Amino acid sequence: MRKVWVVMAVLCGLTGMVNAAEIAGNEVAVTVDATYTTKYIWRGFDILDDKAAFQPSVNFDLGNGFSFNVWGSLAGSSKGDGAVSTVDREEWDYTLAYSNSINEGCPWKTNYTVGWRFYDYPDVASNDADVQEVFVVAAFPELIGNGIVPHASVMQMWPSEGKGANRDFAGTIYLLGFTYGFTMDQAPELPMTFGWDIVYNDGTGADAVDHDWSHMVWSLSTTTTCPMTGAKVTPAVYYQNSFEDTVNTEDELWASLTFSFSF
């Protein structure tokens, strides 16, 4: 019942923001994504024990920097044959965010996003699984130049109720990294993005998670437009070096394919 009230509150908030945006004369832009990923790796953790997932999302750009996003993850296998079962791993995340820029026209220009996210697991009791977070993301597109954009993120997480099986989940995650955009002479129509991130986990996820640098991730992606549908198609490949066994005992390699529609 609590989850129903949470979803209703989110939808009511969304309706209010949509109406406010329309009153202000802004059109609400919608982007729908459909992603297939060969593994669901979340902040270093292998959520589905090497199993694939389908991850749809819809994003509402409400204007004036505000947005609302609904993101889901549905396991590609009905159950696990290893340490992790996927039976109860359906997940829906709801994110309210505000984005803007400061320091325009100087090397310290900063594109930032602040927001709140609710993680909902509909097949598990809220006090045992659901968590929340507030986050800040900042990128510095003019600091280095030549297609290199440093970025940093801080995520503060806590259980939605605090008295269940996830009562020791709370903590902070810090991320530092950069992206590098480039094109290859052999395929100038395919812009490439290389990414690198390193993460410090301050005991977030369970009581046993250590306070340490947990992992780093390397990525390579490109985006093209499908001539038949107009959808953007983004294939990507990732490799994770895992440092902290309480987060992940293995290095990880996975790939994803995303179709994105905007209207």
Rounded to an integer, the average pLDDT of 31-56 is 96
pLDDT in tens, 81-110: 555 567 778 999 999 999 999 999 999 999
Find the length of the chain. 263
Largest interatomic CA distance in the chain = 57
Rounded to an integer, the average pLDDT of 119-147 is 95
Rounded to an integer, the average pLDDT of 17-34 is 70
- CA–CA separation, 5 vs 94, rounded Å? 13
Structure confidence at residue 49 as a pLDDT band (50, 70, 90):
very high
Structure confidence at residue 38 as a pLDDT band (50, 70, 90):
very high
pLDDT-wise least confident of 76-80, 173-177, 234-238? 76-80
What local confidence, expressed as pLDDT, does residue 2 receive? 46
CATH number at residue 174: 2.40.160.40
**pLDDT above 90: residue 224:** yes
Whether the CA torsion 149, 58, 80, 169 is positive or negative: it is positive
Question: What's the whole-model pTM score?
Answer: 0.87
Domain count, the chain: 1
- CA–CA separation, 122 vs 98, rounded Å? 27
- CA–CA separation, 251 vs 242, rounded Å? 5
- Type of residue at 60: F
What local confidence, expressed as pLDDT, does residue 11 receive? 45
Count CB neighbours of 65 within 10 A. 14
Would you state the structure tokens that stand for residue 63, as one six-digit string?
Answer: 């204007």
Q: Are 69 and 94 in contact (CB under 8 A)?
A: yes
Range of the domain at 68: 2-262
Closest CA to 126 of 2, 4, 8: 2
Rounded to an integer, the average pLDDT of 136-143 is 98
